[in-house]
Amino acid sequence: MASRAANNEEKDGGTALAARARVDALLTAAKEGDVAKFKEKVELCDEGHGPQKVVSDTKDGNGRTALHFAASQGHVDLCRYLLEDLEAPVNAQDDEGHTPLALAVMQSRPEASKLLLEKGADHSIPHQQTGAVPMHHAARAGASEVVGMLASKNADVNAPSSSGTPLIWAAGWGNVASAEELLKHGADPNQADQDGVTPLLAVAGSGSLAIAKSLIEAKAEVNKDAGGATPLHVASDQGDLEMVQLLLAAGADANRRDAEGARPIDAAAAGNHRKVVEALLPKSEAAKDGEWSVEALMKKAGVPSSSGRGEEAAPSKSEEGPKDANGDVKVGPPLPPDLSNPKVKRAQEAKMRGDEAFKRKQFMVAVDAYTQSLDLDLENATVFSNRSICWLRAGQPEHALTDAKAARKLAPYWPKACYREGAAYRAMLKFEDAATAFYEGVQLDPENKELVEGFQEAIKAGREAHGVKQQNGGSPNVSFAEMKL
């Protein structure tokens, strides 16, 4: 009896594994977008209830259906087949509340987004945790065509979320076309998020002059603050001279103090941004405090006047940053995620699926898995770095660059993030930017052969392109021609 029960359990286990394999094959076919292959997988999963039942019931570990995957990859023909022939639920939500439309928008899939909207997709369904709707994702992805498409369907251009309006998202990510499209459709340039951050404050951080100009033209309030910090404080702290000059010309108050009593000029001095201090001094009341010169302000901020350090230098081992037991800056990968947090643990599981897909060279499948991971944990620099290389292998260097920059922002002392940025610039034929990124990585890890070779190759390719440009009558790029390691 015991033996028979054991055999039955083994048989049941094998049956369950086989069923799971069929489900995985079906969802993989949805990611790949081959309609004929997908139909075959549906037939294999059908146990007599019909293909419609198979499609509506089959989901992955995150609650995503075949339509979620087809939409996120932009497979319009498969989406049409699912919606028209199999009546797949157009507004099915995964465990986080994402609909197929949300995923299509997040991945900048305009044709798939258009089809879903035509078939009745609801553009107002929010993400369960953040409250973000497809308009937010379109703004962040830089999908201006989709922004306009959603607006034409009466989507709310001022929809709130835990991170603010779509315009704040576009401004924070520096997506010019999306920001301008939102403004064209009536987005409020002064609507703040729950922390008081406005679009202009967000763009002061991202550094997009084009968006800042558009916001100012749309009557953005240049002195509106969050916790006392104005856009001028943020730009001064960043050392962004052009942004500072733009804000001053628009009427920014150089004498406003933040919650700690600091003025923009104090923030610039503390960051050793000498040129910004020089620009702010004529507009400041520093003289009333006896601070008559740039040197006096820099000295007060604790910056030695003899410092010859460039303002735009990358972090180096000698600079402030996370320290090890010996007091040295930690140069290396970011800390591992806190798996005691259930949400972070799920994010890590999605990351592992992405890693496996990458090993199989299924780069867009990996992108989807990494995106699921980031939906759960946006603070993981490693996932941004991994998704960056996938975008690059998939022939989309612009997306690769965006992710590389995000990785560097989260882990500024990680050489690999510098390499990812350099590789993306190199693929875009922006050799000077590539060389700069590689060089900044070498500053962190001088023995890193990959970074050193990347820098040298970028210099060589750039000089060759530079020579061709000069032969064709282009203007010489002296700074690039003189670059060396």
- For the stretch 408-448, pLDDT in tens is 998 888 999 999 999 999 988 888 899 999 999 988 888 88
Q: Where are the beta strands (DSSP E) in 277-375?
A: none
Q: Quickly tell me which residue has 């700069």 as its tokens.
A: 436
Exposed / middle / buried, residue 158 (Cβ in 10 Å: 0-12, 13-18, 19+): middle
**What ranges do the domains of the chain cover?**
16-122, 342-471
Is there a contact between 428 and 438 (Cβ–Cβ < 8 Å)? no
Report the SS3 class of residue 229. strand
Rounded Cα gap, residues 181 and 184, in angstroms: 5
Question: What's the pLDDT at 363?
Answer: 80
User: Rounded to whole angstroms, how far apart are CA atoms 23 and 265?
Assistant: 60
Q: What is the dihedral of CA 410, 415, 420, 422, to 10 degrees?
A: 120
How many Å apart are CA 373 and CA 368, to the nearest integer? 9
Nearest to 232 by CA among 241, 224, 244: 244
Confidence label for 301 from pLDDT (cuts 50, 70 and 90): low
User: Does the structure show a pLDDT above 90 at 14?
Assistant: no
N- to C-terminal Cα separation, the chain: 76
Give the Cα separation of 47 and 54 in Å (integer).
9
What is the per-residue pLDDT across 276-296, written as a single tens digit (0 to 9) for each?
Answer: 999 999 888 755 555 556 676
Q: pLDDT tens-digit profile of 451-482?
A: 999 998 888 887 776 554 444 444 333 344 44
Q: What is the DSSP string of 44-67?
A: HH-SSS-HHHHHHH---TTS--HH
Please tell me the distance from the alpha carbon of residue 243 to that of residue 245, in angstroms, as a whole number: 5
- Cβ proximity of 221 and 190 under 8 Å: yes
Q: Which fold has domain 16-122?
A: 1.25.40
Question: In the structure, what pLDDT confidence band is assigned to residue 312 with cuts at 50, 70 and 90?
Answer: very low
Query: Mean pLDDT over all residues of the chain?
Result: 84
Strand partners, 70: none
For residue 104, give the 3-state DSSP assignment: helix
Say whether 342-471 and 16-122 share the same fold: yes
Give the model's pLDDT for residue 259. 79
Could you tell me which residue, 331 or 444, shows the higher pLDDT? Answer: 444
pLDDT given for residue 254 in this prediction: 95
**CATH architecture for segment(s) 342-471:** Alpha Horseshoe (1.25)
User: For residue 479, what are the CA distances in angstroms to 116, 308, 456, 485?
Assistant: 49, 19, 15, 13
pLDDT digits (tens, 9 = 90+) for 125-170: 998 888 999 999 999 888 999 999 999 999 999 999 988 999 999 9
Question: What is the model's pLDDT at position 300?
Answer: 64
**What's the residue count for the chain?**
485
